[in-house]
Amino acid sequence: MNAVSAPLALLAELTHRCPLSCAYCSNPLQLAQVASELDTESWARVFREAAELGCLQLHLSGGEPLLRRDLVPLVEAAVEAGLYTNLITAAVTLDAKRIAALREAGLDHVQISVQDAEAGRADAQAGFPGGHVRKLAAAALVREAGLPLTINAVVHRRNLPSLPGLIALAEAAGAERLEVAHVQYYGWALANRDALLPDRAMLDRATEQVEAARARLGGRMVIDYVVPDYHATRPKPCMGGWGRRFIVVNPAGRVLPCHAAESLPGLDFPNVRETSLAEAWMGSDAFNRFRGTGWMPAPCRGCALAEADWGGCRCQAYALTGEIDATDPACSLSPHHGVLADARAGAGDDAPLVHRAQAR
């Protein structure tokens, strides 16, 4: 595997604990327990190994990373290793003292998630009364601390009417970047797909609103836009391709090519408690399983786009077909493409919504 390049970024899932209970959470249905979480020194070693491997960026995520009492020492360890640090947070527990300590430790960037533009609807979606007001206050603290701010808005059937308000919220907060990310259907989101999946008219309207905002805000705020595969005819190169750009370490130390990869049966993912990050990235059977194009079945094999989309998403293919090496049904050439039409037909406003369970 001499052709394997270094990953661009490490996503460190510090914990699965979270004060919110979002129904679209992409974490696994079986959440890692507190007792299984890596300790401070183990994470510091992982950060050093990530930098030695060639990673440039570190995304500190969860769950809610602010629930780690050692978050400041972890940021210090990452900065010492030479990594650019981005805190991905719900921010409902972020106060002035904590942001000052993180800034002093060397934190480079903060990304705050919001659920809606209106407080009542946002709090209902997050399952955290008063959370929206706290998020806006936290965003102001981030800007006062001189840190770059990204607002992340995960959008779906139940909050897409609020998209113009979400764009205005990010603009008012002084965000340099807004991520408008349609729900991707893994974990809890897959369990709630019927309640969350928008119809085509809603998707097209959202796309028009994003493009209009991009034209208006060009040079002031970048807007990233991620659409749901369930309306696609070609798959995305998920995470830039399996084992190509991103490496994930979950709270218990499991090394993964993406946050949802543990859902795939028959793959033995290494653990940083037993192996180095470089050995996991370069040499593990699980990481090498879907690299390149040799594993691909028809119609992917020989397709002109095989080295553009890298076969799409393995987790989505498995969730929709029960086969880990199936052509991603997002591709119109897939023999399973019809399952997406079935899913769209099953979505509706009356579908029940189940909120995310809590890790203990």
149-155/84-89 β-pairing:
unpaired
| Rounded Cα–Cα distance for residues 58 and 162 (Å) | 31
Angle (deg, nearest 10), helices 96-105 and 131-144? 40
Contact criterion met (CB below 8 Å) for 260 and 246? no
The answer to whether 210 touches 217, Cβ cutoff 8 Å, is: no
Closest CA to 278 of 41, 30, 39, 6: 6
- Residues 36-43: contacts with CB under 8 Å, at least 24 apart: 36/251, 36/252, 37/251, 37/252, 38/14, 38/249, 38/251, 38/252, 38/253, 38/272, 38/273, 40/70, 40/73, 40/74, 40/77, 42/253, 42/272, 42/273, 43/12, 43/14, 43/74, 43/77
Q: How far apart are the C-alpha atoms of 175 and 133, rounded to whole Å?
A: 16
Helices 338-346 and 314-321, interaxial angle, to 10°? Answer: 70
Q: Which residues are annotated as a binding site for [4Fe-4S] cluster?
A: 18, 22, 25
Q: Which residues are annotated as a binding site?
A: 18, 22, 25
Beta bridge partners of 181: 154, 226
